[in-house]
Amino acid sequence: MDFSKFLPKRAILLALSFGLLAGCIRHKYETPIVKNTQQPDKVLFDQAMNDIERGRYETARISLQTLMNTYESSEYMAKAKLAIADSWFREGGANGMAQAEAEYKDFILFYPGMEEAAQAQNRVCEIHYKQMDKSDRDITQTLRAEDECRQLLVQFPNSKFAPLAAQRLRNIQESLADHEFVVGNFYWKREMNPAAANRLNALVNQYPLFSKDGDALYEAGDAYSKMGPRFRKQAGEMFSRVVADYPLSDRAQDAKRRLEEMEMPIPQVDRAAYDHEKYEIENYKKPGLMARGTDWLRSGPDLSHAAKSGTPTMTDPKRTIPASVPVPNTEVASNTGSGTGTAEVSATTVSATDNSLDRKPDARSSGGAAKPSGTTTTQNGQPLPTNRDKDLQKYREQQAKKQAKAEKKKKKNQNSNDQQNQVQPAQSSTGQPGVPSPATNGNSVTANQNPPSPQR
Q: How is 80-136 classified by DSSP, letter by letter?
A: HHHHHHHHHHHH-HHHHHHHHHHHHHHHHHH-TTSTHHHHHHHHHHHHHHHT---TT
Closest CA to 109 of 98, 120, 100: 120
Domain edge (last residue) among 68, 95, 114: 114
Domain edge (last residue) among 227, 261, 284: 284
- What pLDDT was estimated at residue 326? 78
Q: Flag whether 262 is in a domain.
A: yes
Rounded to a whole number of angstroms, the distance between the first and last alpha carbons of the chain is: 142
Cβ–Cβ < 8 Å for 96, 89:
yes
Q: Flag whether 235 is in a domain.
A: yes
Query: Residue 146 maps to which CATH number?
Result: 1.20.58
Same domain, 280 and 257: yes
Q: Flag whether 442 is in a domain.
A: no
Same domain, 197 and 279: yes
Domain edge (last residue) among 69, 85, 114: 114
Q: Flag whether 203 is in a domain.
A: yes
Write the CB contacts of 124 (distance below 8 Å, at least 6 apart in sequence). 101, 104, 105, 148
- What pLDDT was estimated at residue 3? 44
Same domain, 78 and 109: yes
Compute the half-sphere exposure of residue 11: CA atoms within 13 Å on the CB side of its CA.
Answer: 6
Same domain, 39 and 102: yes
Cβ–Cβ < 8 Å for 212, 178:
yes
Q: Flag whether 231 is in a domain.
A: yes
Q: CA quadruple 212, 217, 223, 226: dihedral positive or negative?
A: negative
Same domain, 168 and 215: no
Angle at 337 between CA 334 and CA 338, to 5 degrees: 120
Number of domains composing the chain: 3
Cβ–Cβ < 8 Å for 341, 328:
yes
Cβ–Cβ < 8 Å for 281, 248:
yes
Same domain, 274 and 201: yes
Residue type, 30: E
Q: Flag whether 333 is in a domain.
A: no
Same domain, 199 and 156: no
DSSP string, 277-309: HHHHHHT--PPPHHHHHTGGG--S---TTS-SS
Query: Residue 235 maps to which CATH number?
Result: 1.25.40.10
- What pLDDT was estimated at residue 440? 45
Same domain, 261 and 245: yes
Same domain, 72 and 152: no
Q: Flag whether 34 is in a domain.
A: yes
For residue 192, report the phi and psi dihedrals to the nearest 5 degrees: -90, 75
CB atoms within 10 A of CB 87: 26
Same domain, 61 and 73: yes
Q: Flag whether 308 is in a domain.
A: no
Mark the ranges of the chain whose per-residue pLDDT is less than 50: 1-7, 22, 24, 32-34, 331-338, 363-370, 373, 427-431, 434-449, 456
**Domain span at residue 134?**
115-173
Same domain, 110 and 149: no
Same domain, 109 and 146: no
